[in-house]
Copies of this chain bind each other. A is one copy, B any other.
Amino acid sequence: MSQIGYVETQRVVLFTEDDPLRLRGGDTLGPVEVAYETYGELSPERDNAIFVCHALTGDAHAAGLHLGAKKRGWWDNLIGRGKAIDTDRFFVISANLLGGCRGTTGPQSINPATGAPYGLDFPMIEMADLVTVHRRLVEHLGIDRLYAAVGGSLGGMQVLQWVIDAPGQIERAVLAAASSQLTAENIAFSAVAREAIMSDPDFHEGRYAEHGVVPARGLKVARMMAHITYVSDQSLAHKFGRRRIGAAPTFGVDYEVESYLHHQGDSFLQRFDALSYLYLSRLLDYFDPFAEPANLARLREAVTAFRVLSFDSDWRFDTRQSERMVAVLRQCGLQVEFDEIASPHGHDSFLLEPPGYHEAIAAFLDRPTSDVRR
């Protein structure tokens, strides 16, 4: 196994004002630029492409190093020569989401109608809109069919939507720590995060960029809270326990776990935008593809084999949510392999390497095509 070396993020305009993106909700959006990276080589037959879908706050930089950077891509442990997603065999595509803030058009992009950032004038988007944009990227790269699509958390949900929207395009789908439907508790946590952001006086109704500020206090609180839900009580107990930093009680940072959370909140401010958080978290609330009979009919036409993976300590998107997806997919006649992986790291397990996880993905991707078709 070896790591990928230096990579660069590419950018391409896939929709224009004259050829805009038509959103499911009825609005149009243009131009739409997409930031993406690729690893490995596309085969002459163009049959070895794997699309990697990132989570809520991820980005296109899934593997390798950017020149001058120290931190490798967010799924570098999975993608590389000899790794589960083997770049000696596969051509891997990773793209930032529509509505994001890491190179793909989102609410901080310039609205051509005003010359200023969209702010809250950015249209409400749905999971299907993210898929539409990434399908256009695949088309732009000259690829018709995907050997596989692989996603964790929101990324897994995007893969599910992609199979629904293009039942003939994806041969193998990996859904890790995902769900077909957020629970009331999931929605509740997102509601608190949005309240923290939008009640920050620096939010300025979403026009904070024009005021030269960001709603940093609210976004930090939102991230600190969300981070607790991405890990587990046992992982926090194991990593930090009740270890203190100082001796006497203060209202500052007295416990190691507090220091860790503050660090998570502060570093998040360096890489993520509050409006993207609003749009993408709201999109997740509304994601509920199995509620529409037409989607189930499309799934019955799909050529996709599924590998669903949950993690036993993930309480944000717990195993029951994966089991629900598995049941419906099987009712649609699809081939689905499912495992709950033992891991103490909560929802974030999908970014880590608990025993059996990468092996399960590698084995699934190794299957010849004839095995995975119905």
How far apart are the CA atoms of A183 and B218 in the complex, in Å?
Answer: 25
Is A198 in the interface zone, CB < 8 Å from B?
yes
Cα(A278)–Cα(B254), bound, Å: 13
A228 touches B124 (CB 8 A): no
Any B CB within 8 A of the CB of A74: no
User: In this assembly, does A255 line the interface, its C-beta being within 8 Å of a C-beta of chain B?
Assistant: yes
Binds B, one of A55-63, A78-86, A170-178, A219-227: A219-227
Q: How large is the interface on A (under 10, 10 to 19, 20 to 34, 35 or more residues)?
A: 35 or more
Dominant secondary structure at the A interface: helix
- The count of identical subunits is 2
Task: Verify if A145 is at the interface (C-beta below 8 Å from B).
Answer: no
Contact code string A10-28 (vs B, CB < 8 Å = 1, else 0): 0000000000000001000
Chain B residues within an 8 Å CB radius of A241 = 184
- Among listed A93-101, A160-168, A232-240, A332-340, interface-contacting one: A232-240
Which stretch of A36-44, A256-264, A301-309, A361-369 is in the interface? A256-264
Tell me, yes or no, whether A372 is within 8 Å of chain B by CB. Answer: no
B255 touches A285 (CB 8 A): yes
- Cα A224 to Cα B258 in complex, Å, equals 20
Given contacts A191-B258, A221-B221, contact A240 B196 (CB under 8 A): no
The answer on a CB contact under 8 Å between A285 and B195 is no
Q: Are B191 and A255 in contact (CB under 8 A)?
A: yes
Complex Cα distance A312/B156, Å?
31
Q: A189 CA to B221 CA in the complex, in Å?
A: 11
> Which partner residue on chain B sits nearest A198 by CB separation?
B251
Known: A124-B249, A185-B237, A191-B253. 14 other contacts (CB 8 A): A120-B251, A183-B242, A184-B239, A184-B255, A184-B257, A185-B232, A187-B258, A188-B224, A191-B262, A196-B221, A199-B217, A218-B221, A249-B286, A315-B315
CB-defined A-B contacts under 8 Å, sample of 18: A124-B248, A184-B240, A184-B257, A185-B228, A187-B257, A187-B258, A188-B224, A189-B225, A191-B262, A194-B251, A195-B220, A195-B265, A196-B196, A221-B221, A242-B288, A249-B286, A251-B282, A254-B282
Q: Which residues of A contact B (CB under 8 A)?
A: 25, 120, 124, 181-185, 187-189, 191-192, 194-196, 198-201, 217-218, 220-221, 224-225, 228, 232-233, 236-237, 239-242, 248-251, 253-255, 257-258, 261-262, 265, 278, 282, 285-286, 288, 315
